[in-house]
Amino acid sequence: MFNFKENISLAVNGLRSNKMRALLTMLGIIIGISSVITIVTVGDSMTKSITDVFNDMGANSVQLYIIDRPDENGNTNWSRPYQAEDYISDEMIDQFLEAFGDRIACWAVSESVGPGQAINGHNKADGRIQGVNANALGINNIDIIAGHDLNEREVSGEKSVAVISDKFVEDLFPGLPVHEALGKEIKLQLSQGTYTFTVVGVYQYEVSGMAAMMGAGSVTTNVFVPMGVAKDMIRDTDSVTNVTDGYYAMQIKGNEKVTDSKAFTEEIDNYFNNKLYRSNKYVMVRAESMDSMIGEMTSSLDMIKLAISIIAAISLLVGGIGVMNIMLVSVTERTREIGTRKALGAKNIAIRVQFIVESMIICLFGGVIGVILGTTLGRLGSTLLGAPGWPSVSIVLIAVGFSMGIGVFFGYYPANKAAKLDPIEALRYE
């Protein structure tokens, strides 16, 4: 009845004889397929990158922060500034640790001072000064490779000590082994003055994002100092008139005794709100587990990825219309050929299949080119985000299958028109 191999050969020969027209016809398919694959690849990379960051904090990690408390009518006074008594105080933390200490592996509060720069001759190192409590770095799985984390004696005594990154050591003391940086003094220049710290620890800096793509150049890493020292540095800033002793947020990591992170999070939330913040009419505490934050973030990214993919897929519709248009032109150009084939006994279904196959071949080639282009752009985009990735096999197969489906859908009308041509009228066509 009809020969697929022959139809494919005819379709390929037709594309070869009209290369530019074929390429322009495929353009909408190429753009649509490549856009969808790029977006999905980059979206999956972002999701994986963010999930990895949260997972590094641990499944039993809880983020605690203060929010405005709604009144009995559900209204919130957004204009009211936070007062000193609204923040999480050291006394609250002590009470909390007394009640939950047997289930807590570590906890952390932080205070950002701002960017600074250390200079050693011609060498410079940029650092972002962060005030932290004792043994706080373990909560984010920061790996101390020389020396130690800030301890209780250093933090409570407000010693001028710091934990810096190996990248900071490399920039400031090129060629110096990290363990030899211990005990060295560094002078950090900030807008409010110059401060001297003794290095007591060095942590391994994990390269990610644009820093990974750029490879070289100045990278600003965190310099961790005792919390009290950080607050004194903030007070030295002319524009700051009041510095609270409390904290806006607190991070907690449960130990192996915590088997249900959701229940653990709810228990912490209830303890703060029903006991420590019970008398506060304006502020309450919200506790969120890493698991719930990962779920919310992943869900949001998936929705964004889907929305952008739908927009990008519109170009596939435009490409399909272009395929239909060029196939109608092809039917018109080959009217006499169709008449000759029908006069020699070709059935309507054979003519119909011939043009549908030709339409599918156009979309298949466009789909393959789109997959190659989308894979390249997706890889480049995910690399820029610091989490290089490839498109999944399933999305590639779906993309190619979808492009061929477009060929069938938009090629059927021209093919059906060709099949219904009257052979006598077709042979008379000039």
Are 23 and 137 part of one and the same domain?
no
Residue 308 lies in a domain: yes
Are 116 and 49 part of one and the same domain?
no
Rounded distance between C-alpha atoms, residue 239 and residue 226, angstroms: 22
Are 116 and 227 part of one and the same domain?
yes
Residue 393 lies in a domain: yes
Whole-number pLDDT of residue 242: 58
Rounded distance between C-alpha atoms, residue 269 and residue 374, angstroms: 45
* 4-17 helix and 348-384 helix, angle to the nearest 10 degrees: 60
Are 206 and 301 part of one and the same domain?
no
Whole-number pLDDT of residue 42: 84
Low-confidence ranges of the chain (pLDDT < 50): 1, 209-216
For the chain, give the mean pLDDT.
Answer: 82
Rounded distance between C-alpha atoms, residue 224 and residue 243, angstroms: 19
Residue 289 lies in a domain: no
Residue 364 lies in a domain: yes
pTM for this model (two decimals): 0.64
Are 310 and 412 part of one and the same domain?
yes
Largest interatomic CA distance in the chain: 103
- What tens digit of pLDDT does each residue of 212-261 get? 444 445 678 999 999 999 998 988 775 555 567 789 999 998 888 888 88
- What tens digit of pLDDT does each residue of 4-39 get? 676 677 667 766 777 777 777 788 888 888 888 888
Are 218 and 334 part of one and the same domain?
no
Query: Which residues have C-beta within 8 Å of that of residue 205, sequence separation ≥ 6?
Result: 165, 166, 167, 168, 219, 221
Residue 200 lies in a domain: yes
Residue 103 lies in a domain: no
Are 314 and 239 part of one and the same domain?
no
Whole-number pLDDT of residue 66: 92
The domain total for the chain is 2
Determine contact, residues 400/364, Cβ cutoff 8 Å.
yes
Residue ending a domain, choose from 246, 265, 284: 246
From the list 388, 131, 382, 102, the residue with the least C-alpha distance to 248 is 131
Are 238 and 363 part of one and the same domain?
no
Boundaries of domain holding 38: 4-53+297-428
Residue 277 lies in a domain: no
- What tens digit of pLDDT does each residue of 1-11 get? 456 676 677 66
Residue 72 lies in a domain: no
